[in-house]
Amino acid sequence: MSTRDIVLVALFAAIIVVLGLLPPITLGFIPVPITAQSLGVMLAGCILGARRGAAAVLLVLLLGAIGLPVFSGGRGGLAVFAGPTAGYLVGFAPGAYVCGLIAERLVKEDQAELSQFLSFLAASVVGGIAVVYLFGIPWLAYMSGKAFFGTAAASLVFLPGDLIKAFVAMLAGRAVLAGYPLLPQRA
């Protein structure tokens, strides 16, 4: 990694932490709050690409594991990784990686704007939502002692907000690509 890469990773780790400072919205029927940190995961993947985006998320996870209050609601420490939100937190790193990988493969600087927008949206939805849910929902079902399909159905309440976050990540990814491209290009 170059110095520029390290700075970008640290910058996006800080963005993810700041998004965690926004107050979480708790719902009574599910023990996982609605947070803005998943937007940071999508932004890191769409703007930095797979490797650097995942590195930014891993840095946040490491800082949280050593006890710094970097997670939503000012939480930190290893106990967070034993709670109901642990699956979602663990899913952040592969989510950012997949989001970045899709963006690197689909988004090209010389393609039409609409194609770029749709590619960033696809990357955000697949990496930032589907992959994170793939890790989060099974862990939440295990921790809550409820059936997987019941937990998955209850988790659908997060989908509208996550789609809005994916839309914001799409807009930000396209804006950065147009003004100051950071996304590594892959064949």
> 71 has which bridge partners?
75
Q: What domains can you pick out in the chain, each with its CATH number?
A: 3-179 (1.10.1760.20)
pLDDT at 114: 94
**146 vs 123, more confident:** 123
76-119 pLDDT per residue, tens? 999 999 998 899 999 999 999 999 999 999 998 889 999 999 99
Alpha-carbon span 31 to 45, nearest angstrom: 27
12-66 pLDDT per residue, tens? 999 999 998 887 777 776 767 788 999 999 999 999 999 999 999 999 999 999 9
Alpha-carbon span 43 to 148, nearest angstrom: 29
Looking up tokens 């090209």 gives 108
Alpha-carbon span 68 to 75, nearest angstrom: 8
pLDDT at 31: 67
